[in-house]
Chains A and B, each alone.
Chain A
Amino acid sequence: MHQLLMTGLLSAALFACSDNETKANGGVQSPVEDKVWYTNPVIGGNTPDPSVIKADDGYFYLYNTGGNTYYHRSKDLYNWEFLGTAFTEEDKPQWEPEAGIWAPDINFINGKYVLYYSMSSWGGGATCGVGVAVSDTPQGPFQDLGKLFRSNEIDVHNSIDPFYIEDNGKKYLFWGSWWGIWGVQLTNDGLALEGGIDYAKEHKIQVAAGTYDTRSYEAPYIHKRGNYYYLFCSTGTCCDGANSTYQTVVCRSENLFGPYVTKSGERMLDNKHEIFIKNNGNFIANGHNSEIIQDDAGHDWILFHGYDTSKIEEERMVLLERVYWDNDGWPYILENSPSKKAEAPFFKK
């Protein structure tokens, strides 16, 4: 009996409040759907020269110049987690004395993660060069296989900034900085020069001009889309703080080895190009782009470095931007310059 009475009294207590609860929440609806944003930079503080790959564990891995090659991972291209360095202090490349590891280029070749890298120091254009390292996982440790070539061996001064591409079943390496952008064929495993250094020196092909100063190009990246190869490069001064003039440019060709031309047909070999990413009030010196990555909505994205004008002292940072393609098949980003805040890439959970 008393249980029945208690139940009745508790019900009365809840009922007594129900009117007020309804009034307090009257007309309450579920929150409306907002878009998902990201804010540039997506990685801060001194992280230049990004190269990115989607690994078989579902993460994107981004490697950049710094220390023994810093790397980060992300599920969505804009939230990045710092994981460490690709090389350990003991196992890092050492074939160029007093040199740093610059401008890594990450790839997945024949079941291995293959990292091409530059070894250089400021003013070391004669003996700097390109090396290669491999790992079973994107998190390393990467085993250095040594140099592919030095500038004075391949006969291209300032041989840095490697970029690997596979085309029609063959593997190629492009590279260069101010002394022209060049390409050579690699062996089937991608770990050596096809035919050796003398053959490569003889058969290397130039695809973009070298002016022996920062008016020409460095940091090549080639993207195949439809019938065209798009050669992205950077031009200008990269690392002069607020005075940097670096920007990203592009030309295209129907052949991997060119000629790469502008919209009006002028050749990149003649130092002509279309501007792809220029400076704005928020970000300057925007260049040395990564690979183009497609999200699950079919949208293309690109990462690159730039200085945030509000904190130049924090050095170059990684920025993310959506790549659009116009009706004539030319790439562009909105306003031809980085956004402060924009709609984020879409990836299924």
Chain B
Amino acid sequence: MKYIMAILLCGLMVLGACSDVEEVGIPLPAKFKVESDEYYVQITNENIDGVAFVYRWINIEGAKYLFTMFESKEVDDETEQKTVQIDDTSILTNNNVRELQVTNRQLTEYVQSLGISLNEEEETVVNLIMEFSAVNAAGEVIKQEETEAAATATIRVVLSRDLNFNGLTD
């Protein structure tokens, strides 16, 4: 009798232990969320190999992530916008958090590819906008509880007067 009770108890433990991961139908997380919508970066020759920022968000199962960076400016009463696509090199970390690390060197290269030139007398300040979206296999932005899994972050980049685009070496 004792053995039968033990077998039944362990059977219940098996089901109980697995129940939290077997449950379906509840999106996790309930709402899409990114860590911050504002970043400040100062880049000098000295910290060119350092981290510019880490973009963090709650992972969405099965999603593909798209990143676009651009500087928006008015030229002859028209908004001029050049964009640069950022490769998704994000990684999944603890607690279902996904992280994309952008280094100062990468950010400087993005700035260069946007055609922005440096001022040698004083700092060059660039206000970049990074658009981010999580899309499904069909390329449509994923919706969670009517909220689109998309976000915009502003990145204020200060490029030091001592920074030399041409002198940047790997």
Docked complex Cα distance between A31 and B94 (Å): 7
Indicate with 1 or 0, residue by residue over A1-43, a CB within 8 angstroms of chain B CB atoms.
Answer: 0100110011011101100110110011111111101000000
Checking B2, B18, B42, B91 against A20 with a beta-carbon cut-off of 8 angstroms, the contacting residue is: B18
**Chain B nearest CB, measured from A88 CB (Å):** 41
Q: What is the CA–CA distance of A17 and B15 in the complex, to the nearest angstrom? A: 9
Q: Do B40 and A13 touch across chains, with their CB atoms under 8 A apart? A: no
Offer 16 A-B interface pairs, CB within 8 angstroms, sorted by A: A5-B3, A12-B14, A14-B17, A20-B18, A20-B22, A23-B21, A28-B94, A29-B91, A30-B94, A324-B44, A324-B160, A332-B161, A334-B42, A334-B158, A340-B40, A343-B42
CB pair A31 B10 closer than 8 Å: no
User: Complex: how many Å from CA A42 to CA B170?
Assistant: 35
What's the minimum C-beta distance from B57 to chain A, rounded to whole angstroms?
13
Q: Does B162 contact A (CB under 8 A)?
A: yes
Q: A341 interface residue, CB < 8 Å from B?
A: yes
Which listed residue (A23, A35, A335) contacts B125, Cβ 8 A? Answer: A335
Contact of B2 among A2, A13, A34 (CB under 8 A): A2
Interfacial chain A residues near B13, Cβ < 8 Å: 10, 13
Q: Is the CB of A13 within 8 A of B14?
A: yes
Report which A residues bind B (CB closer than 8 A): 2, 5-6, 9-10, 12-14, 16-17, 20-21, 23-24, 27-35, 37, 324, 326-327, 332, 334-336, 339-343
> How many angstroms from the CA of A165 to the CA of B162 in the assembled complex?
31
Which 5 A-B pairs rank lowest in CB-CB distance, beginning with the nearest? Answer: A9-B10, A341-B40, A20-B21, A32-B101, A34-B54
- Chain B residues near A23 (CB, 8 Å)? 21
Looking at the assembled complex, report how far the CB atom of B4 sits from the nearest CB atom of chain A, in whole angstroms.
11
CB-nearest residue of chain B to A27: B92
Q: How far is the CB of B23 from chain A (nearest CB, A)?
A: 11
Give CA–CA (A327, B13) in the complex, Å.
70
CB distance from A137 to the nearest CB of B (A): 37
Which among B40, B93, B160 is the interface contact of A28 at CB below 8 angstroms?
A: B93
Give the residues in chain B near A340, CB-CB below 8 Å.
40
Q: How far is the CB of B92 from chain A (nearest CB, A)?
A: 5
